[in-house]
């Protein structure tokens, strides 16, 4: 009886350990995207089906300012956990302040945002585009412009 009892205890503690590993994975690995309200921004022709390769919000100062504000909070909720608060990376993921500036860096940026990064079946960065949408992607890019460093 004593033997069976301790086996049960053992099994239960393994379950608890497995549970906390699961919770850790959830906290660090699996990303739960936070919806971004982009209704204040002009729609992009092509919606979420066709991505443009240049930031459509940069040309109009008023729109650009709105985009930066939306992008700041969208970044904080969806990107900061890996890329760092205020876009200053702690080393887990690339430091996005050093992306190429302006249109030169737009295409690379939006491609990563849209599709994420998967190599040899391993997800380095989850795809964000299909969940958050193209408008949120360019809003975040607009805010990142304000953090750019050479």
Is the CB of 33 or the CB of 66 nearer to ligand HEC? 33
At residue 122, what are phi and psi to the nearest 5 degrees?
A: -100, 130
Is the CB of 70 or the CB of 128 nearer to ligand HEC? 128
Residue ranges binding ligand HEC (CB under 6 A): 31, 78-79, 81-83, 93-94, 96, 99, 109, 112-113, 117, 124-126, 128, 140
Is the CB of 16 or the CB of 23 nearer to ligand HEC? 23
122 sits in which H/E element: strand 122-125
Supply the minimum distance, in Å, between the C-beta of residue 139 and ligand HEC: 10
What gap in Å lies between CA 132 and CA 70, rounded to an integer?
A: 12
Q: How far is CA 27 from CA 8, 21, 32, 140, in A?
A: 29, 10, 9, 22
CB 41 within 8 A of CB 69: no
Is the CB of 13 or the CB of 24 nearer to ligand HEC? 24
Helix (H, G, I), strand (E, B) or coil at 82: helix
Supply the minimum distance, in Å, between the C-beta of residue 20 and ligand HEC: 20
Supply the minimum distance, in Å, between the C-beta of residue 88 and ligand HEC: 14
Supply the minimum distance, in Å, between the C-beta of residue 5 and ligand HEC: 42
């Amino acid at each position: 009886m004593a033997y069976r009892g301790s086996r049960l205890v053992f099994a239960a503690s393994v379950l608890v350990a497995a549970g906390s590993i699961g919770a850790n994975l959830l906290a660090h690995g699996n990303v739960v995207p936070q919806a971004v309200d982009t209704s204040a921004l002009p729609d992009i022709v092509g919606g979420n089906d066709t991505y443009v390769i240049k930031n459509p919000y940069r040309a109009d100062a008023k729109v650009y300012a709105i985009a930066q504000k939306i992008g700041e909070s969208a970044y904080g909720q969806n990107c900061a956990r890996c890329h760092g608060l205020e876009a200053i990376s702690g080393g887990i993921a690339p430091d996005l302040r050093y992306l190429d500036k302006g249109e030169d860096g737009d295409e690379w940026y939006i491609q990563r945002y849209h599709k994420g990064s998967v190599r040899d079946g391993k997800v380095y960065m989850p795809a964000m585009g299909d969940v958050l949408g193209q408008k949120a992607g360019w809003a975040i890019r607009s805010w990142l412009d304000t953090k750019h460093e050479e």
